[in-house]
Structure 1
Amino acid sequence: MNNMPTINNGGQPYYFPADIAKEGEDYARLSNFFKTRVGDNGKILTLKWYDQGRVMNVHGFIPFIQGMVGKHYEEPDTKEIVMAPDALYREWQGSTDNGHDGGFMDYILEDQMFPQEGIFKGHFGLKDTNGNVLTSVNIVFEVLGNDLRVGETSKYYSAELDRLVREYEVKTDQMVADGTQKVDQFVAQTKNNINTSLQTSRDNIDALNGEIRANRAEQANISQHLAGTQQQIANYDIVTRPEFQTGMDTMNSAINERLSQMKTNPIAVANAGELTKNYPNGADGIFITADTGHKWIYLYGAWKDCGAYQAIGIENSELAPLKEDLIKQEGKINQNTNDIELNSLGIKKNSVDIQNLEGAGHLMDILLVDDFGNHITDDYGNRISGYKWLPLTDVTLTQAGLPADGQAVGEAIKNATSFKPEKYGMPVLYLWGSNILSLKDKSKTLKNEVTYSFPAYGVSGTVEKFKVQGASSVAWPKKNYTLNLDKSFEGISGYGKNHKYVIKANYADPSQALNVVGARLWGMIRGTHKNANTGILNINGDQLVDDTGNRIIAETDPQLSIGGTYGAVDGFPIGVYINGQYWGLYSFNIPKDDWMAKMPKKSKNKYAIIDTIWDPQGAFKQETNLKDQMELQFCSTKDTEWAKDSVNELIRAALASYDTVDDFNKAVSPLLDIDSAIDYYIFSVLVDNDDGIFRNYLLQTFDGKKWYIAAYDLDSIFGRTPDFWEHLHAKSDTNDWRDHGVTFENVTNANRLMYQLWKFYKEEILKRTKALIDGVMSDSAVDTAFVDYVRHIPLTAFNAELERWPGMQNTLVDNINRIGRWYMQRIAWLKNKYFNN
């Protein structure tokens, strides 16, 4: 990497910077700064982790090392390092205790990591506590020889396995062998008992199925009805949803009543012709044709010849136990689920496969005893333990007549006490799909695989396209998703019907409010410009008037005519279930596309939206090809070249030098809506938009020539920072390292357009700022905006969020109380700094 320390490092221990953005060379070569020797033990190599140049908080992450040690050579053309065939694989994993403040993470190089000389080539990285790899960097350094402790080593080594070996080496080989033999015998006996028990269960079930098949003709009509009902259950996952229990009880009662009324005595007719003539629309029961001796039943809308009649009638006294056994078996199938997430996939996963009965067991710790009941111990008096699968025999009933085991009772208690957002009036979105949780980034789209239900809006069906949404947020366990639904509906008032929406996880924002409320505040700022005073003319040029003679007027500015949040997002809080499991709080949002700005999807007129990603293009410091740090998000025409040419014309105008404000206006105002640019500049200072100076805002054009600015991605405002853990002081001009927030002056070096605005419009900017903080951006107005959003989320929902996602940071700190307190301090600082005179 280009920022390696000097060799002597001023007498301080080395640390090596690593950026998860993977900037720099393919491999960081540390040999000039760090070497290890064969057999070295406990040497610490410290890395300081960054995310796009910002220090990360590594608390809660686990360091790991994976790589090869041995001889190597370099390809002369590519300089690629190729390890020798006898190079040895090594790995190491630390704990969360290795992380320190300031992004520092210690990597401990144990003795067995370096069994032979050469080089180490591999990667150092970070995992979360669930084992998910967050990131890693490629590392190369030398391993020196000349150490007498070098000895025989294995081909593969794991620090975890080595620890386990050392832990158990105090036990004698003989005792371990004796214990192993007894455990093997016990396990073999237990396995044999389980297999015998399961085989007996299968034999009993096979016998039951034989009886069911023998009487299938008699039960044809009710079987058809039951099959349809079961298909409905499979499609809509009713069995796993408690709110349908009453419906299921009603259905079971109907089935029992129908079975009790079923006719089992055969009815004789002369022949098939007489049968179809007398009963053209079918009839209940079994009919025997005297001429052939065949039995006939009415099945699927037609009479069916079922061959020679051999079955005998079954009395109700015999049929009743059969029905009872059938009900019990279906109950066991539903209760013997051993994974709630798989169970939530619905009846399709656990419907009628009787082999699921083997899940009705529990792996128990046991202590080994001899024939006299005495505990078997090792030489140190420790009791030797083992494991045994024990069947669940608890038959506690959750209600009268309903069979249940301990697991089912536990599930019933969990369902009764778990948080259900629908009880509090929150809209709830239900999603089902076996591959939803396999999505890790935006590279994969699920097409027609996910189904949904949104009862609050009366829509359900199939998600035609389902994918992960966002860039940096994809690394977090709770992800954002984009949904292209098969139906359009008006989810957000004032925007009309749409089929595409985004659900935002807000994993980095425990308040659940920053992104949407920030966009609404932006809309409040832009709305102060709205002045519908332009008269409307007909095709003849005549002024249109109403019935009383008043002129009909309208807002003609394309962005101000949008209304709402004026080109930014909007949304509302919802609860989300994925495959029957509560997944947490989300915001149901407008997507970042044409609909957000009320642009036509296809038009000969030139509409476009550009997303700013990073410096330099996002800072108006360099032209773009729209595939770098500016990206084309939407274009109304197939040809997109004009959008690139148009925005580059604006960038060149921002880069140019001007002597007077008139010169600047003459060059820039035809290409840029200066009002929206000034508003965004002021907005960023007011809310400390630290992550939105050269990225995370949108450029919108409605005519292919003039561009408007709109705020976007606002989860790092009001003192929040992009690394999600640190908070900025409300004052942004002290010497404290955390006070690197946004001021009118300090962002002029980071964004060329803001430099020009401050140079030529300073007086207008301060006058506009004063008007805003006395109006729509006063501390009371901002506080009300947050209250109006968060009041729709019950307190218990925030508690459930923390329980569902314990890895969320700052859950006690980041709430609307902190936001309101911070903004009051911010306004006081702004007034003192800019308006004291």
Structure 2
Amino acid sequence: MAELNPPLGTTTPEIFMDNVKRADELVNGPAGTVNDRGGEPLDTWRQMMAKNDEIRQNIIPLSKQYMTLTAAQADIANIPVGSTTYYRSPDDSALAIEVMNVAGTLTATGREMPSQAAVNLLANSIANLLMGLQLNSIAINDVGSWLSTELGAIQDEISKSGIETSRTLINLVLGLQGAETAIAGLQSDKVSESLLGEFELFRLYWMQTFSTQLMPLDGFNPQAVATQDDITEIELFRLYWMQTFGTQLAALEGLSTDTIATKQELAELESKITGVALEPVTDGVYVAGEPRGIIRIDLTSAGNIPSSKEEGTVAGYISVKIDGQSFGASCEFGVQGASSASYAKKNLSFDLFSDDTLESEVKLAIGNVLPHETWVYKANWIDTTHVRNTMSYNLWEQVVQSRNTWPKREVESVFVGKFGVDGTLNGANGHPVGYPCVVFFNGEFYGIGDFMTGKKRSNYNLAKNKPLQIQLDIGGWLTLGDFSSHITDVNYVEFKAPKSPTSATYDAIAAWDAFCNLGQADFTAALPTHLDKVNIIDYFLFTTFGNFTDCGSGNTIKNTQLVSYDGVKWYFMPYDLDTCYGLQWDGASINYPPTNPIRLNGDFWNKIRSVYGADINARWAELRSKGIFSVDNIYGLIMDLQSKYSQDLFSAEFAKWPAVPSLGITGIDQILTWIKNRIAFLDTQFSYTA
């Protein structure tokens, strides 16, 4: 700014009159400029109006509407040379076609406003945006925030007219087209062919997700034809968005088209832009809603998936996409499971961290579960239906929820007599919860399965090191009444809680052994002290219904989580539920007919049935009459899971893993037919008549 003499702020009469005179010339004078007191030229009002009109004319003839190219050419005098305008498309391939005045002749520029192809154009634009912006999260966050806002606007349009909804979508498409133009210089041959393949997979996934979001929109019509006002509004919006995006790019320090991102950087970038990024509800805790569709997991790592537990864990980055929401975290992952660890397709456990130092844990909750720092991918190697394990946990949950008691869940006994935070339900449920998922490793399809919680002590509301809060993870066949003989052998049992057992812990287990070995009379007297009646009856009926062969046989149990909150009363909690409904443990055969005898038939269980026989029969009748143990209910549970997959995903799964053992021996018909006959058999065992 030039020096003013006298200086700015002088209030003499001469300065005042000079300003009044200058203002009169600026407002009422001809188009031109008037110098200020420092000698700098200022545009007069008429000069500004002339410039505005020139800009308007160069953008589009706002007052004109051209139905055909012929009509536009006839009005060429009002379309300045070098400027563009639009005429309505003669077919359904586009909404309008752009032409430019080139020496008096309107010539097509090759640009069109989309109509029917709006959604596909949107998906392609996002894919292009991802390829161009490999780096710099500042710009990406701006784009992600804008994209989230626009998608929110579309949802808000539910209560508005179809034309308004279509207009919002067109704005979204053209905004991304503007971004595509702005970053065209970044989209070079720096992107490898394999990376392009990864983005194509992402594009197809995003199109499916976006289509799901569009389905609820009331009145949405991708074929709606915009008015001239709509076109003007859209063009101005596009120009504004290009300017805004260009400004953001210009501010990026160190932006280089020669820089190629690593796979992990691309995974982090994709996680941020391909959905509404989850924000922590408290420090390090993220919460997503119950999935309506399939979860997509993208795992990236410089290492390979371990082939065994002995290889330990590998560092990587996990991106989890749930109905348009996106969660990303650094992770350590390794092989999960016992006998399943030897299968070609691995179960994997993921420990989640805030960054690649792998020092600060983060937790993720999906649906109504406790936030977990460890999640598990169950590959379902032995079960080609991909429903047995998760469906059975869902069935157990139905059994639990059918109880007319408090506490309803076993894990809720810790809330009795508590207040404030200590008396508040926290999402712990005492069993794993799983959701259908598809996994990609370093961009390549790995397989379908379930994304699940595990058997962490927190999910059973147990402390880490209270000697009498005990969780025994029984990995080998243990005889009821002889736990103490193998209690320190990790091949048989692992202490999930307490982490460091004390003499008080071992004394409690010895007392449990003594109870199991009591004669009938003493056993009957001590039964209410050492076992929960509701729990032991439901566990017995549930494991008998599904013939869960990995849970127990005779007087031995395995995989079951045996839990106590005081070292005195014990709860049987089901775990590892895929060997069921007739399937052999390795998935190679249907080895157990529906009439297979009740497996829990050892001395321990016979003593329980001697005391609770009538109650067991009554509970069976209740679960049957409520429709929980029924073919129709199992069909519904299967549908809830299998409907998340498509047949294309199953085809990809079996093409990737053709050696899965149960491919030719089990299916939905096998499960439902087996259950129908199993129910008929057990009705006779528990004296039930439908």
Q: What is aligned with 1:254?
A: 185
Say whether the 8 Å CA contact 1:689–1:714 is kept in structure 2: yes
Deviation at 1:675, TM superposition (A): 2.7
Equivalent residue in structure 2 for 1:645, among 499, 507, 510: 507
* CA offsets 1:583-633 (integer angstroms, 9 cap, x no match): 111211111112322334x46574221112233446757643242564234
- Where does the alignment leave 5 or more consecutive residues of structure 1 unmatched? 1-227, 237-244, 257-326, 345-423, 535-552, 733-740
Residue 642 of structure 1 aligns to a residue whose secondary structure is helix
Residue 574 and residue 247 in structure 1: after superposition, are their counterparts in 2 closer, same or farther (change >3 A)? farther
Letter paired with 2:469: Y
Query: Helix, strand or coil for the counterpart of 1:609?
Result: strand
1:747 aligns with 2:621: no
**Does structure 2 conserve the Cα–Cα contact (< 8 Å) formed by 1:518 and 1:714?**
yes
Corresponding position: 1:440 with 2:310: no
User: Which amino acid is the alignment partner of residue 666 of structure 1?
Assistant: A
State yes or no: 1:581 paired with 2:444. Answer: yes
Q: Secondary structure at the match of 1:497?
A: coil
Cα gap change, 1:561 to 1:590, in 2 (>3 Å): farther
Residue 478 of structure 1: CA displacement?
0.8
User: How much does 1:232 deviate?
Assistant: 5.9
Quickly say closer, same or farther: Cα 1:505–1:748, change in 2 above 3 A.
same
TM-superposition CA deviations, 1:178-231 (whole Å, max 9, x none): xxxxxxxxxxxxxxxxxxxxxxxxxxxxxxxxxxxxxxxxxxxxxxxxxx9666
Does residue 701 of the first structure (1) align with residue 564 of the second (2)?
Answer: yes
- DSSP-derived class of the 2:397 partner: helix
Q: Is the 8 A contact 1:689 1:742 kept in 2?
A: no
- Which of the numbers 395, 403, 406 marks the counterpart of 1:529? 403
> What one-letter code is carried by the residue in structure 1 that aligns with 2:328?
S
Q: 1:808 aligns with which of 625, 642, 660?
A: 660
How far apart, CA to CA, are the structure 2 residues paired with 1:247 and 1:652? 76
1:466 to 323, 333, 343: 333
Contact 1:533 1:554 in 2 (8 A): no
1:568 aligns with 2:568: no
The alpha-carbon distance between structure 1 residues 766 and 628, as it changes in their structure 2 partners (threshold 3 A), is: farther
Offset from partner CA, 1:489-532 (integer Å, 9 cap, x none): 54332224332111111111111111111112112222333424
The letter of the residue matching 1:441 is: S
The alignment partner of 2:529 has SS state of: coil
Q: Is the 8 A contact 1:520 1:565 kept in 2?
A: no
Q: Which residue number in structure 1 is paired with residue 619 of structure 2?
A: 768
User: Conserved in 1, the CA contact under 8 Å of 2:581 and 2:674?
Assistant: yes
Q: 2: CA distance between counterparts of 1:697 and 1:710?
A: 6
CA contact (8 A) 1:619 1:695 kept: no
2:247 counterpart residue number: none
Aligned to 2:638: 786
Contact 2:594 2:675 in 1 (8 A): no
Change in Cα spacing, 1:716 to 1:679, as seen in structure 2 (3 Å) is same
Q: Which residue is equivalent to 2:392? A: 518
The TM-score, its normalising length taken from structure 2, stands at 0.53
Counterpart AA for 1:450? G
Pick one of 474, 477, 481 that aligns with 2:348: 481
Displacement of 1:686 after TM fit?
1.0
Q: Which has the higher contact order (CA 8 A, sep 6+)?
A: 2
Letter of the structure 2 residue corresponding to residue 645 of structure 1: D
Tell me whether 1:711 sits opposite 2:574 in the alignment: yes
Question: Structure 2 matches for 1:650-665, cutoff 5 A?
Answer: 650-658=512-520, 660=521, 663-665=522-524
Count residues with an aligned counterpart: 408
Match of 1:664, as an amino acid?
F
Task: Please state whether the residue corresponding to 1:455 is helix, strand or coil.
Answer: strand
Letter in 2 for 1:723: D
Match among 283, 299, 314 for residue 431 of structure 1: 299
CA distance in 1: counterparts of 2:417 and 2:683, whole angstroms: 32
Question: 2:376 aligned with 1:508, yes or no?
Answer: no
Q: State how far apart, in whole Å, the 1-side matches of 2:293 and 2:620 are.
A: 39
Letter in 1 for 2:434: G
Determine helix, strand or coil for the equivalent of 1:665.
helix
User: Residue 595 and residue 586 in structure 1: after superposition, are their counterparts in 2 closer, same or farther (change >3 A)?
Assistant: farther
Conservation of the 8 A alpha-carbon contact between 2:465 and 2:500: no
| Structure 2: distance between partners of 1:809 and 1:622 | 37
SS in 1 for 2:549: coil
Q: Distance in 1 between matches of 2:541 and 2:674?
A: 17
What corresponds to 1:795 in structure 2? 647
Corresponding residue number in structure 2 for 1:609: 471
Structure 1 CA distance, aligned partners of 2:455 and 2:178? Answer: 41
TM-score by length of 1: 0.44
C-alpha change, 1:834 and 1:674, in structure 2 (3 Å) is closer
Q: Alignment partner of 2:313: what SS?
A: strand
1:510 counterpart SS class = coil
How much does 1:678 deviate? 2.2
Instruction: Determine the C-alpha separation between the residues in 1 that align with 2:646 and 2:196.
Output: 29
Checking the alignment, whether the CA contact within 8 Å between 1:573 and 1:793 is kept in structure 2 is yes
**Could you list the runs of 5+ residues in structure 2 that have no partner in the other structure?**
1-131, 141-175, 202-291, 355-361
Inter-CA distance 742–697: structure 2 relative to 1 (3 Å threshold): farther
Deviations 1:643-666 (A, max 9, x none): 3332231122112223x3xx2133
Superposition deviation, residue 758 in structure 1: 2.7
1:753 partner letter: F
Q: State the 1:573 CA deviation.
A: 0.5
Give the Cα separation in 2 of the matches to 1:832 and 1:621: 34
Change (3 A) 1:617 1:644: farther
In structure 2, do the counterparts of structure 1 residues 461 and 665 end up closer, same or farther at CA, with 3 Å as the change threshold?
same
CA distance in 2, matches of 1:248, 1:578: 29
Counterpart contact for 2:299–2:439, Cα < 8 Å:
yes
C-alpha separation in 2, matches of 1:587 and 1:702? 30
1:49-60 → structure 2 map (5 Å cutoff): none
1:812 deviates by: 4.9
Are residues 774 and 338 of structure 1, via their aligned partners in 2, closer, same or farther at CA, if it must alter by over 3 Å?
A: closer
Cα pair distance change 1:718/1:250, threshold 3 Å:
farther
CA RMSD of aligned residues (A): 3.8
Show CA shifts across 1:374-407 (max 9, x none): xxxxxxxxxxxxxxxxxxxxxxxxxxxxxxxxxx
The 1:512–1:561 alpha-carbon spacing in structure 2 relative to 1, beyond 3 Å, is farther
What is the distance in 2 between the residues matched to 1:496 and 1:566? 8
Change (3 A) 1:781 1:230: closer
Offset of residue 714 of structure 1: 0.3
Mapped contact 1:747–1:754 kept (Cα < 8 A)? yes
Superposition deviation, residue 723 in structure 1: 2.5
In the alignment, is the contact (CA less than 8 A) between 1:531 and 1:555 conserved in 2? no
Aligned to 2:682: 830
Is the deviation greater in 560-569 or in 603-612? 560-569
- Specify the code of the residue in structure 2 equivalent to 1:757: I
Q: Determine whether 1:453 maps to 2:319.
A: yes
SS in 2 for 1:656: coil
Secondary structure at the counterpart of residue 618 of structure 2: helix
Contact 1:617 1:630 (8 Å CA) reproduced: no
More strand as a share of residues = 1
Distance, in Å, in 2 between the alignment partners of 1:607 and 1:792 is 38
Deviations 1:753-789 (A, max 9, x none): 3232133333332232222222222332232222222
Alpha-carbon separation, structure 1, partners of 2:486 and 2:197:
50
CA distance in 1, matches of 2:612, 2:327: 50
C-alpha contact 2:296 2:321 (8 A) present in aligned 1: yes
Measured in 2, the distance between the counterparts of 1:765 and 1:563 equals 31
Superimposed CA distance per residue, residues 525-579 of structure 1 (whole angstroms, 9 cap, x where no aligned partner): 2233342499xxxxxxxxxxxxxxxxxx997499x99798941111100111011
- Structure 2 Cα separation of the partners of residues 513 and 604 of structure 1: 36
Q: Which has the higher helix share?
A: 2
